[in-house]
């Protein structure tokens, strides 16, 4: 089991404008840049895990021969089209 409380330093390059926007947000939220970066990474990683799990579910369903009918596909497209 890994210790999630151990911090490590990471360095990366980004545009000045992004850092400025991050600092503005941090100031508005009375937080620091590191907190916002940590939160962004946590959300990104969680979302990627969710996406990959959903893709795996879809592949498993396809392997079982479970496919949407043409009517179901068209109904879903209609649901997302702009009115």
Residue-wise pLDDT tens digits, 37-68? 999 999 999 999 999 999 999 999 999 999 89
> In which domain, by residue range, is 47 found?
16-80
Distances in Å between the Cα of 64 and the Cα atoms of 11, 67, 71 are 45, 9, 20
Q: Is 43 a member of any domain?
A: yes
In a domain, 62, yes or no: yes
Mean pLDDT (the chain) is 92
Phi, psi dihedral angles at 31 (to 5 degrees)? -130, 175
Q: How many structural domains does the chain have?
A: 1
Output the pLDDT for position 5: 81
């Amino acid at each position: 089991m890994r210790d999630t409380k151990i911090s490590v330093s990471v360095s990366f390059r980004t545009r000045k404008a992004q850092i400025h926007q991050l600092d503005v947000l941090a100031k508005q939220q009375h937080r620091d840049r590191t907190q916002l970066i940590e939160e962004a990474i946590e959300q990104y990683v969680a979302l990627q895990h969710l996406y990959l799990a959903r893709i795996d579910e879809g592949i498993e369903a396809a392997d079982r021969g479970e496919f949407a009918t043409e009517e179901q596909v068209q109904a879903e497209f209609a649901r997302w089209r702009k009115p």
